[in-house]
Amino acid sequence: MTNFSFSLKQAPATRAQGQFGRKTKLMAISNQSSKQDWLTKMSVIPGALMLIPLFLGATINTFFPQVLEVGSFTTALFRDGTAALLGLFFFCLGSQLDVRTTGPTLEKGVAILIGKVGIGIAAGLAVAFLAPGGSLLGLTPLAIIAAMTNSNGALFAALTGQYGNKTDRATVAVIALNDGPFITMIALGTAGLASFPLQDLIGLVLPLALGFILGNLSRTAREFLSVGESLLIPFLGFVVGRSIDFSTLVTSGMQGILLGLATVLISGPASMLVLWCFHALHRRPRKTRNLIAGMAEGTTAGNAIATPAALALADPAYQAIESVATAQIAAAVVTTSILIPFAVALVAKWQQRRGVSPQWELEYYERLSKKNQAPAAVSS
């Protein structure tokens, strides 16, 4: 009895100690989180992963240009590391392209890719050949094509996750083909606006091709390299920003806002139109003609900021406008990231009023898949 009564008296203290221990752990976790708040809060800025290091690089270039001249690893990474970082970035990017993507996802991805890339190239080349001086309101064909053909995959996935269905979300594996400078290079090179020696062109494409092969041969390699793309973006942002002066950033930033508006208002609807044509050609029921993925494509990816630097490495003629085009694209990234959620929400409401539903589209594909599987089961 003595032991029993003693344990009863000590029990409250034990519970109190347990509660105190839990509170201490929670306070420790809270304190740890609060220390990281400044970094976490920065993530609310559209394209922060690329833009904040870019602004830091521009600040150092404008006010403290000699800081990175100390030599050794510092100079090699932060001043002269553009080519190596771009090569590694493209290798990681290529590893995430899945050749096994099929079905409605592949069709939808191809449709919106045709719309976005097609209208972006058309707009850029129209400015190059029809506008006086080869530019429109200070916007160069390089900036127009790079911004309008390259979409923000993370934002696309988030918006299609909220407003679309799983065929919309899975499309991100297909539209990843427009990442990087390659579409811009092909468009400018084919139109005769840029000259890329064959050896340099092979050198630019080879990292992407090697990454693509490795990623499709090994799922483990793909998962291992999946973090590489995001990991390298801040470093790319800094080395690209290091070539920009703040005066260029301010003057070209206003032009970039116009570029961002054009990207949302032109490339998004163009992708919707091509996607609608695919639906119509297959004579799908009207209520299943979901276009959310098309509008969600009306963005500019943060990695597009590195496109002028990549082209300047391949064709030195573009070094003269590299900083201006970079600043314009950076502003377009922010503008599209702010505007596109409202645009997609408006399209979702418009579809709802017309009786079109992403869920009905998904159910239609599922019924079609079961119908196609039934004859195969009977024949087997």
Query: Does 29 map to a domain?
Result: no
Range of the domain at 108: 69-367
∠ CA 30-35-41, rounded to 5° = 100
Percent of residues in the chain assigned helix, strand, coil, to nearest 5: 80, 0, 15
Spatial distance between the Cα atoms of 73 and 257, rounded to a whole number of angstroms: 36
Identify the band that residue 360 occupies on the pLDDT scale cut at 50, 70 and 90: confident
Spatial distance between the Cα atoms of 327 and 319, rounded to a whole number of angstroms: 14
Query: Does 227 map to a domain?
Result: yes
Q: Residues 124-166: pLDDT tens digits?
A: 999 999 988 888 888 999 999 999 998 887 778 778 877 888 7
Identify the band that residue 12 occupies on the pLDDT scale cut at 50, 70 and 90: very low
Helix runs in 131-285, H state only? 141-149, 153-163, 166-170, 172-175, 182-190, 198-217, 219-241, 246-262, 268-281
Number of domains in the chain: 1
Place of tokens 């992708």: 271
Query: Does 27 map to a domain?
Result: no
Query: Does 76 map to a domain?
Result: yes
**Between these two residues, 199 and 328, which has the higher pLDDT value?**
328
Q: Residues 251-293: pLDDT tens digits?
A: 777 888 999 999 999 999 999 999 999 988 988 888 888 898 8
Sign of CA dihedral 211, 215, 218, 223: positive
Q: Please give the structure tokens belonging to residue 64.
A: 């403290």
Query: Does 1 map to a domain?
Result: no
- Among candidates 14, 51, 18, 19, which has minimal Cα distance to 249? 51
Query: Does 42 map to a domain?
Result: no
Amino acid letter at 41? K
Spatial distance between the Cα atoms of 300 and 259, rounded to a whole number of angstroms: 10
Amino acid letter at 175? I
Q: Residues 23-76: pLDDT tens digits?
A: 454 444 445 544 556 666 666 665 566 667 877 887 887 788 788 787 888 888
Q: Please give the structure tokens belonging to residue 224.
A: 């291992």
SS3 label, residue 139: strand
CA 130 to chain centroid: 30
In this structure, what CATH number is given to the domain that contains residue 277? 1.20.1530
Residue 378 exposed, middle or buried by CB count within 10 Å (0-12, 13-18, 19+): exposed
- Among candidates 74, 53, 109, which has minimal Cα distance to 302? 53
Query: Does 201 map to a domain?
Result: yes
Place of tokens 């290529």: 94
Query: Does 125 map to a domain?
Result: yes
